[in-house]
Amino acid sequence: STVVLVFQAPISKLLHEGDSSQEFNFNVKCGDRIKVGEALGR
Amino acid sequence: GNSKGDSSYLLPGATVATILMLGALHARRMYDDKKIEKRQEKGIEVEFQPDVKASFMSFLPLRSISRCWGQLTSMEIPAWLRPHVYKAWARAFHSNLEEAALPLDKYTSLREFFVRALKEGSRPIDTDPQCLVSPVDGKILRFGELKGAGAMIEQVKGFSYPVFSLLGASSLLPTTAHGNVQEETSESIKPTEKSKKSWWRVSLASPKVWDPTSSCPKKGLFYCVIYLKPGDYNRIHSPADWNILVRRHFSGHLYPVNERATRTIRNLYIENERVVLEGVWQEGFMALAAVGATNIGSIELFIEPELQTNKPIKKSLNSEPPEERVYDCEGVGKVLKKGDELGAFNMG
């Protein structure tokens, strides 16, 4: 079986100094094994 | 007597020939799969290549096969035999029996064992408020950002399918005539009575026009496809704190969804039976599609126990629109915390 997750997330950096960038980034690679509760991205 | 003698020779001959032929086919298939695996290890992307077997699949009574499999795996196993059966299953499918919440002889059938819960603490949830967690155990097949016309998700290199077909004519992701989605996003939108049906719209229109002086960041639409093997932990958890507003059930087919099937069967994930949950999280729209397969035809929702999947289908499938239910408790739908259990895949 397969799960497909579709979600909205920020794609741009906040330009005001002092603000951390809000861009969403995956921290997985294709082929990785992952478990429930582990971060897909931040 | 003569003809009787001949026919008694004939039967074993034909049987042996059939077994040899099936064996040769299987050996050929294993050789092909090994070749594919070697190429993948070298980082060479496998391409979409429909074959005769894939088209042959559509003639098989897959749903009946799936339901028979479900009957078989629901049968009660004598208590003394259970540990042996489940250890054999674990060996065959590389399951981790240490994590099972109950002693093996407490699972009365293979189907019950398949949806086993895990011991407390087996799956710690990443508590970083900025992160999205995996809803299942499995293998990451594809992920990325949905851009441009049609918002296509790649099934395998050389073949993609539209996210709208996967999720359905979404009440939360309405499309324009050209198959794009439109945006009216603003940070301040809150679900009100009027806007409940279509209060989120997401734009994939490019080039993105964005006012750099605005304080709220631009939003994009992302996806991630995770494949569960039969031996994996099969419960589905919540990927974030979110409100589920709509549930959509597509009857569809029950093709296998293994690696070979994704490489040879066109539109696999939008043909197969699936349950789509749609809602909203802190960053906007979110949807989770649980796609079934021949051996795992049932999708159970703990948030809606009465939902029945993998039912015997009478009429042709494609014409049927998905059966939809709006979760409407006080207009905020079903509220789930990150890591909460929301459903499970099951056999048959």
Q: What is the pLDDT of residue B38?
A: 74
B284 in contact with A at a CB cutoff of 8 Å?
yes
d(CA B235, CA B137) in angstroms, rounded, equals 8
Of all residues in chain A, the one with the smallest CA distance to B255 is: A1
**CB spacing of A8 vs B283 below 8 angstroms:** yes
Please name the residue that has the structure tokens 């009575």: B193
Mean pLDDT by 10 residues, chain B (348 residues): 60 81 77 73 71 80 94 97 96 95 97 96 96 97 86 88 88 48 39 39 39 64 95 97 96 90 90 96 95 95 96 66 85 93 96
Q: How far B145 CA sits from the closest chain A CA (Å)? A: 9
SS3 (DSSP) at B139? strand
DSSP 8-class letter at B181 = B
User: What are the beta bridge partners of residue B226?
Assistant: A3, B140
Q: What is the pLDDT of residue B324?
A: 93
Q: What is the pLDDT of residue B21?
A: 81
Question: Which chain B residues in 176-215 lie under 8 Å from chain A, judged by CB atoms?
Answer: 185, 200, 202, 210, 212-213, 215
Q: What is the pLDDT of residue B45?
A: 66
**CB spacing of B134 vs A35 below 8 angstroms:** yes
Contacts of B218 in chain A (CB under 8 A): 10-12
Residue A18 pLDDT class (50, 70, 90 cuts): low
Of all residues in chain A, the one with the smallest CA distance to B37 is: A31
**Structural contact between residues B275 and B248, judged by C-beta atoms closer than 8 angstroms:** yes
**CB spacing of A40 vs B124 below 8 angstroms:** no
B166 in contact with A at a CB cutoff of 8 Å?
yes
Reported as a single tens digit per residue, the pLDDT across B132-187 is: 999 999 999 999 999 876 789 989 888 899 999 999 976 566 344 444 544 434 33
**CB spacing of A16 vs B284 below 8 angstroms:** no
Q: What is the pLDDT of residue B44?
A: 66
Count interface pairs A-B at CB distance under 8 A: 190
Reported as a single tens digit per residue, the pLDDT across B333-346 is: 999 999 999 999 99
Please name the residue that has the structure tokens 């073949």: B159
- The DSSP code sequence of B68-135 is HHHHHHHSPPPTTTHHHHHHHHHHHHT--GGGBSS-GGG--SHHHHHT--B-TTSSPPP--TT-EE-S
Q: How far A25 CA sits from the closest chain B CA (Å)? A: 9
Q: What is the pLDDT of residue B215?
A: 57
**CB spacing of B228 vs A3 below 8 angstroms:** yes
Residue of A23, A36, A40, A42 to mutate when probing chain B, most B C-beta within 10 A: A36
Q: How far is CA B54 from CA B59, B143, B265, in A?
A: 10, 25, 6
Question: Which chain A residues in 1-42 lie under 8 Å from chain B, judged by CB atoms?
Answer: 1-16, 22-24, 26, 28-42
d(CA B153, CA B144) in angstroms, rounded, equals 9
